Amino acid sequence: MDNHGHIVNNVAEVRGRIAAAAARAGRNPDDITLVAVTKTRTPEEMAAAVEAGCVDLGENRVQEYLEKREKTQHLAENSQKFQKNLNIRWHLIGHLQRNKVKYIADGVSLIHSVDSFRLAEEIETRAAALERRIEVLLQLNPAGETQKSGVAPQEAEALALEIAGSLPHVAVTGLMAVVPIAEDPEEVRGLFREVRALYDALRERHTNVPDGALPEFRRLSMGMTHDFEVAVEEGATIVRVGTGIFGARV
Ligand SMILES: *Cc1c(COP(=O)(O)O)cnc(C)c1O
């Protein structure tokens, strides 16, 4: 099988595993969005994923995202199959510097990596200028890893409320977490569970109440290739899968 065929097969396999994990947890698989993480991949590889139905694409670096977006425009002009799926939603999943926000503000669908009020303020400025609202997730660092960005779980509620209370063009729609890579994904189940408990608590206090401060809070982005099934069992509504779709990054 060629690379294109492998990618199409892998997308189906990952979707099957998401559905099975959802079933184990009594969840509807339609409530889980698969983001295909396309960092380092070629436009042809991306096209294979899009043709297999992955219209949510994730990039972790702004420069690469901008290049990819331009290349997919070109692909769209040359591929009918691709055109059918042209409603691509771009997810920025990596650390975002404030001076880069201006480059992504018009095209991004969801920023997963907001971890400070100052970053949110910059998003507000750029979104307001474009007369759009930008949806964001607050990135958590649940294991307290010093080399990783993200807010400590105990700071998330205050940050969410501060943004919701003062930045009308920034919509806080949920939480995102990156957990340590463990040989056995069972080792991170406890962390996923903690993130889920925080998510539920915020929804209970600020979403599922009249005039709640976080009316759009409904997304939980967690789980990557090595642990997405555990993440789905623990309540993820978005999983971010690269290697499992495209093979090992070289
Ligand atoms: C690269 C990346 C992923 C995907 O990782 P895989 O192990 O290849 O599935 C998910 N989330 C973030 C934030 C990433 O940077």
Does 41 contact ligand 1 (Cβ within 6 A)?
no
The predicted model scores a pTM of 0.95
Q: Which residue range(s) make up the domain with 57?
A: 3-245
Q: Which pLDDT band holds residue 83 (cuts at 50, 70, 90)?
A: low
The count of structural domains within the chain is 1
What DSSP letter does each residue of 85-121 carry, written as one string? T---EEEE-S---GGGHHHHTTT-SEEEEE--HHHHH
Summarised one tens digit per residue, pLDDT across range 169-182 is: 999 999 999 999 99
Summarised one tens digit per residue, pLDDT across range 231-241 is: 999 999 999 99
Which helix (DSSP H) or strand (DSSP E) does residue 55 occupy?
Answer: none
CA-nearest residue for atom 6, ligand 1, is 242
Confidence at residue 84, expressed as pLDDT on a 0 to 100 scale = 53
Confidence at residue 73, expressed as pLDDT on a 0 to 100 scale = 72
The alpha carbon of residue 88 and the mean position of all alpha carbons in its chain are separated, in whole angstroms, by 14
Amino acid at 232: V
Does 60 contact ligand 1 (Cβ within 6 A)?
yes
Asked if residues 148 and 155 have their Cβ atoms less than 8 Å apart, the reply is no
Helix (H), strand (E) counts: the chain? 10, 8
In a domain? residue 250: no
Does 142 contact ligand 1 (Cβ within 6 A)?
no
CA-nearest residue for atom 7, ligand 1, is 225
- Mean pLDDT along residues 123-145: 96
In a domain? residue 62: yes
In a domain? residue 71: yes
Confidence at residue 2, expressed as pLDDT on a 0 to 100 scale = 85
Backbone angles phi, psi at 239, to 5 degrees: -115, 150
Atom of ligand 1 nearest to the CA of 178: 13
Tell me the CATH number at 41.
Answer: 3.20.20.10
Residue 201 tokens read as: 């608590």
DSSP annotation of 151: B
Percentage of residues in the chain having pLDDT higher than 70: 95
Q: Which pLDDT band holds residue 148 (cuts at 50, 70, 90)?
A: confident
